[in-house]
Chain A
C-alpha cells in the first residue's frame, strides 16, 4: 500500500494563472542600449565570493576576468562590456534587504570591445576534465535561479558516473518566458551545449523536459535534437513547481533523491536550458557568461519583453527601456511571482540568477489581509515536499521553532504553493523563512556560547595551572632559601 503512495510521479503543486502570453510571442530583444555604468557583484553564485584582481582605474575589455573564483565552490566574474573600472566597493544588493555587498563598478566606453577569444576548434577533442575547467573559467552557474557553479556539478556528475542528464526547460513560474524564447530561437545552440555537458560528464543520455504549455519551444528543440537519438525531448505536464529539480527527477526517472543527498548520487544531474546555452557560448566561442536573457513583465510594464542585457545592468535602466509605470507598480519582484523576492527599489543590479524582473500592480498581487487559519488543508494538499504548512506556521507563531523543525521546516523548498493557495492570506513562506533564519541564528548563538564557555574553562584551567606553578616555585624558593641559610649557619659554625 505504501508503495502506491511513493510511486506518485507528481505530488502537490498548483496551476497558477500563467501571464506568459505578453512576452512568449515576442522575439528576444537584443538592442538594449549599453548602460553607462554596470554594477557587478562579486558574489552572483552559491559559495565563496570571487576575489577581484583588477584595480580602480584599470581599463578592461569585454569578457576580461575581473575577479577569480576562490575555494572549491565559487565562480569567477568577467567584464560584461569594455570600459574603465571606477570603483570596487559596497553597493546595495539585489535582495529584499538591499544590504550592501561588494561590487565592481564599470564605466563603459561604448565600444563593447571583446577580449581575444580563446575558442577551441573542436571542443569534443578536449578531455571531460578540460570541459569542466573551461566551463568553470567562464563563470557559468545554474541559470535557473539556483546559481550553483556548473563546473562543480559537471565534476560531481563525472565522479558519480551518472546515467541521465536532465535539462530543465519547464519554466514553471508564471510570467517568465526567457527559457521559452531561448528554446524557440536558439535550440541548436542549446542542444550543442547539452552535448558538450554530456561530454564533460563522460556520459551519453540526456532528457530535455519542457512543460506542455510551450509547444513551439518543444517543436524547435525536438527538431534540433533529431540528429542525436540519445538526447530525448519530452513534454511534461504544466504544473508549478514542475521545475523543482527533485520533482522533475522523480517525474522523468521515477527516482526520489534522499534528503541530504545530491541528485548525482542516484545517477541523475539536472541543468537549466539557459546553462546549456551558456556552456555552448563558452566552449564554441570562448565567451564567458557576461549577459543573459531576462523577462521584464507585469501589469505595470507598457512594453513587456524578453531582453538580453549585460550582467550588472541596473533594474531602473531595464524598467525605463520597457516603459514601466512607477505609479502603477505596487511591487517589484526579482524572479517569478511564486519564489521571487520583493525588492525595495530599482537601483539594484541584475545578476546571473535574474531570470526575470516583474513590476506588478496592486490588482495582480495577493491580498495581504491576513485572516485566521480555517484548517482547510489546501496547503497540505499542494505542498510538493509533503509538509504540513499549517501546523508548521501555527508552531512558529507561538515560537515553538523546535516543533516546526521536527515537522520538516528544513525540508521546505520555499516554492510558495502554500502561500499561493491559502484563502486566509497567511504568508506561510515568510513564516518559514523567518523561522529558518531564527533557527540558524539560535544555533549560532548556542555554538558561540558553547565556544565562549570552552574558552573560559580553558582560561581558568590555564590560570589555575600558572597559579599552581607559582605556588610551587614559591615553595621551592623558600626551601632553597632555608637551605642556603642552613648551609650558611653550618659554615659559620665551622668557622
Chain B
C-alpha cells in the first residue's frame, strides 16, 4: 500500500532523530543528576543505576512479549530517559525495590500497555511516582540529609549497599523533611512562615544543597539544562514559561496578601520538583498539546494545579499530580485549540472574499 521508500518529498531531512532528541534531553539532565548523585552519595547512585537498568529491562521484556525485536527500540533511548526521570524524582536513599517497582509501573503500565512510545496518555515517570507515593508513603517521604561523596559523614560503599538493599537504620540521624514538607507540618502546629523558615537558605537551595529528590534539588542546574534544551530547539519555551509564570503570579498574589501563610514566589520556584517539572516533565512531547497556544494553556494549568496542591492539598510535593491531571486534559486541549487552516476561518469554513 504505502512504499517504504517514499516517492514523494521531502527527499531530504532536517537530520533530527528520536534517539538524537532523547540524547539531548539526557545531556541536559546530566549536570543536575551528577550534582544530585554527588550530594547524596553511593546509595543514590545505587538507586539510580537500579532504576534505569530495570526500566530498560522492562522495556525489552514487553517488546519480547509482543514479538518485536527489542534492540532497535531500546536504542531510541526513551526507556533510559523514562528510568532516568523517575530516578531523579525518587528520595535518594530509597530501597532498591522502589526503583524496580517504579520502573515496572512506568514502562509497563505507563507506556507499553498503551502500545509503546508515543501512545501513552500519561507521563510514565509521573504515573509511576504517583503510584509509588500512594502505595509506599513512608519510603517515598524519607528524605536523606545532604551527605556528599568523599566526606567523612557520608556512607561508604559497603554501608551504601546496606542502605539500598536492607533499608536505613537510625532514620532520624540521617534524614529529615524537605522545605515544603516542613512548612506544611509547621502549619499544622500553628507555626507561621517567618518562624518555620528561620533556617531556610535561599542560596543553598538554589544551588541544590538541600534535602529533596535524587536530582531535583538544584534549581540552578536544572534551569540551565532547560534553557539549553530550548536553545537547542528540542523543547519550546511555551510550557515552562507559562508554568513558572502562573506559579509566580499566583504565589506572588497570595504572598502579598498574607506573607505568613503563603510562601513567596521565590520559595515556590526554588523548591521541590518545580524546575524539573517545568523543563523536563511537562514538556514531554507525547503527553503535552501540539500547538503553541495549547501548550500555553497546558503550562498555565500545570502551574495552577501545582500551586493549589502545594498550598491547600495534602501533598506538599504536588507536581506529579498536577502533571497527570493536565495530561488527561491534553486530548481535550488539542481538540479545541488547533491552528487555523489557510484560507479558512477558525471553524473551517472558507473565508469570505474581501470587498474592495
Contact = CB atoms under 8 A, between A and B. Distances in A.
Given A260-B350, A374-B18, A425-B17, A342 B338 contact: no
Nearest to A365: B11
A364 to B, nearest CB: 6
Give the size range of B's interface with the partner. 35 or more
A374 B4 CA distance: 19
Main SS class of interface, A? loop
B318 to A, nearest CB: 25
15 contacts: A16-B12, A96-B7, A256-B342, A258-B350, A258-B351, A360-B12, A364-B11, A366-B12, A374-B117, A374-B285, A376-B285, A377-B291, A385-B341, A420-B10, A433-B8
Contact of A375 (B290, B292, B342, B348): B290
Interface of B: 1-14, 16-18, 20-21, 76, 78, 116-119, 285-286, 289-292, 338-344, 346, 348, 350-354, 356
Among all A-B residue pairs, the 5 with the closest Cβ atoms: A366-B13, A416-B10, A416-B9, A427-B6, A420-B10
B11 A246 contact: no
Interface string A415-430: 0110111111101011
A376 B76 CA distance: 15
A86 B47 CA distance: 81
Contacts of B118: 372-375
A9 to B, nearest CB: 12
Contacts of B6: 342, 368, 419, 427, 429-430
A468 B205 CA distance: 98
Contacts of B5: 342, 368
Contacts of B78: 374
Contacts of B289: 377
Contacts of A429: 6, 8-10
Given A261-B353, A365-B11, A421 B16 contact: yes
A414 interface: yes
B11 A331 contact: yes
A383 B339 contact: yes
Q: Which of B8, B76, B353, B356 has the most CB of A within 10 A?
A: B8
Give the size range of A's interface with the partner. 35 or more
B286 A374 contact: yes
Interface in A320-378: 331, 333, 336-342, 360, 364-368, 370-378
A408 interface: yes
Contact of A411 (B10, B20, B341, B354): B341
Given A374-B286, A377-B289, 12 more contacts: A16-B10, A259-B344, A261-B350, A267-B356, A331-B11, A367-B17, A377-B290, A408-B344, A414-B9, A420-B12, A421-B16, A434-B2
A421 B353 contact: no
Given A364-B12, A374-B117, A431 B2 contact: yes
B8 to A, nearest CB: 4
B291 to A, nearest CB: 6
A17 B13 CA distance: 9
Q: Which of B117, B292, B339 has the most CB of A within 10 A?
A: B339
Contacts of A14: 14
A408 B343 CA distance: 11
A398 interface: no
Contacts of A452: none
Nearest to A6: B340
Contact of B10 (A266, A267, A337): A337
Contact of A423 (B16, B338, B344, B354): B16
A388 interface: yes
A234 to B, nearest CB: 22
A381 B236 CA distance: 11
A408 B285 CA distance: 23
A156 interface: no
